[in-house]
Amino acid sequence: MANYTLTTPLTSEDTKKLQAGDTVLLNGTIFTARDAAHKRLVELIEKGEELPFDLEGSIIYFVGPTPPKPGDPIGSAGPTTSYRMDSFSPTMLKHGSKGMIGKGKRNQAVKDACVDYDGIYFGATGGAGALLGKQITSAEIIAYPELGPEAVRKITVKDFPVTVINDTHGNDLYQMGRAQYEVKD
């Protein structure tokens, strides 16, 4: 397992070098979206309409941040459970996104899409939302403000800590970790 520092947007060259279990510090622009926003974004893709941001090389963080304290760009920003985006993530990867950040396991279709489209599923530490929020230096709602905390935001991150869960090679950190301790008959 290796440590990397990457700046967005990501390329296939960036994602192909990553392995499940690697730790990454992300810098640059990422976008926030949860299930309601993903549904709308995929509908736009299916209609051939323009999205509120360029998917090419993007990372999407599954988060519904809390309101910021005065002077802060964002409040607590911990990851949400990712399986709610499983039906949408393959489409997002197919159309240029290179990464997703959340918590929890993903279904086989998402893992396959990571392999097919050079995507990465990063895990962020649940329960550490206040600390993760401190790595966000700016935040701006760019679409669907009526969704409140689930609106699409453009955020800038500095040394945002994540771990590679699903890589471009079909590896799954959760399965790898479990296999280490499985008792064989």
Number of H helices, E strands in the chain: 6, 7
pLDDT given at position 182:
72
The secondary element (H helix, E strand) that includes residue 3 is: strand 3-7
pTM of the predicted model as reported, rounded to 2 decimal places: 0.94
Do residues 93 and 114 make contact, with C-beta atoms less than 8 angstroms apart?
Answer: yes
Q: Sign of torsion, CA 52 56 57 63?
A: positive
The amino acid present at 23, given as its one-letter code, is T
Catalytic residues, by residue number, are 38
- Residue 145: CB atoms within 10 A of its CB come to 10
CA atoms of 61 and 54, how far apart (whole Å): 15
Residue 32 has pLDDT above 80, yes or no: yes
For residue 21, what are the contacts with CB-CB under 8 A and spacing of at least 6?
1, 163, 164, 173, 176
164-177 average pLDDT score: 94
Residue 176: band (very low, low, confident or very high) from pLDDT cuts 50, 70, 90: confident
- Residue 1: CB atoms within 10 A of its CB come to 10
Residue of 41, 62, 38, 39 whose CA lies nearest to 51: 41
Q: 97-150 pLDDT, tens per residue?
A: 999 999 999 999 999 999 999 999 999 998 889 999 999 999 999 999 999 999
Strand locations in the chain, DSSP E? 3-7, 23-32, 59-61, 99-102, 120-123, 136-143, 152-166
